[in-house]
Structure 1
Amino acid sequence: MSDRLRQSGFVDLQLARWRNRRGQIVAHWQRLAARERRILKVAALGLALLFSWFGLIEPPLEKMAHWQAELPRLHSQSVALEEVLRDMAPIAGEPVDLWQRLRQSLDTSPLNGHYRLAEAAESPPESVRVLFMDAPAGPLMEWLQHSAPELRLTITEAHLRRASATDTNGPVATVSGDIRLEPAQTAKETR
C-alpha cells in the first residue's frame, strides 16, 4: 500500500506541503520581534504546564483525596459487618456440627420421632440425607421452608409420597420419603 502511495506521488505531495508550511512558520517566527518571541515561548510553556497539571497531575490527586475520605467510611462499614457476622455465628450452647444442629432442629419440631438421619456411608460427604416415616405433612413443609434455610441448608433432592393410610380424608396428612440437604454456599465460596 505504501509503495502504491509513493508511486502515485501522494507521499511526495504531502512532504512538499509540510515543508512549505514549515517554511512559512519559520519565516513568520523570524519576522517576530524578540519580545513577541519571548511572549509566545512563555505562553507555550504556560500552556504546557496547565496541560500537565490539569491533565496529568490533578486527576490522580483527586482520586487520592476521594479514597482518603472514603476509607474511614468503608472501614466503619467493615467493622459493622464483622459485628453482624459475629452475631450470626452459632450462639454458645448451640451445636457447631451440622448433624447436631439438624438433629436438634428436628427434635424440637413436631417431626420428632418421624425421621432418621442417614448414615455417612449412605449419603455423599457434603450432604445430609433425612428419611421421614409417617411424618405430618404440614409441619414437614414448614420445617423445609423455614428451619432448613435457617440452618443454612438447601434442598437438593426430595422424594416424598403420601403415607399409606386407610383414612385418606383425615385432617392430618402424613408423608414418607427422603430428602437430601446440602450446606448453602456462602458468598466467598461462590467466587
Structure 2
Amino acid sequence: MSSPAAAAAPAGSPPQRSPLRAHWQRLAAREQTLVLLAAAVIGLALLWWLLLAPALHTLKTSAARHAAVDAQLRQMQQWQAEAQQLQDAPRTPALDAPAQLQRSVQQLPGGSARVVIAGDQATVTLQAVPAEALAQWLAQLRTSAHAVPQQAHLKRSPASAAPTWDGTLVLTLPPD
C-alpha cells in the first residue's frame, strides 16, 4: 500500500524536497561556506566544552588529589600501626586499670589532679598540668591502662607563663 503523498505525486516526477534542503540550495556558495564554517565552529566549541575541557581539568587537578589521597593513606597506615601496637601490647587485667589510673594521676606534675571512677568511666579533673606532661600521660595511660579519652574540656591556665591546662577528661576504661 502506498502513502497518500506518494499517490498524489505523478508517476515519473522527482520526490519532493524538504524545505530546509530547498533553502540550502537557494543559498549562494559563499553563504553555504559561511554556514558550514559557523557549524564547524559550534561543533568544535561543543567538542571542547563537553569532551576536552573536563578531561584537561581532571588531568590538572589529579596531582593535588593524588597528594591528598597519599596523605590520607599515610595517616591511615599510621593509625593501623598504632592500633596494631595497642593490640600487641600485653593486656592489663580490668581490675588493675582503675588502680593504674589512680597511680598515674598521682604522678602528674603541676597543681593537682583528681580522679573519680564510676563503672567503666573515669573523670579526671586537672589543674595547672603542663601541656607536655599531659600529652605523655595520655599516651602512657592508653598503653598501660587501656583507657581511651571520650571527652575533654580543657582550657589553658591563665596564671602560668608555660602552657598548662585546667579542666576535665572523661576516660573509658576497658571492660571487665
TM-score (norm. length: structure 1): 0.41
Q: Going by fraction, where is helix more abundant, 1 or 2?
A: 1
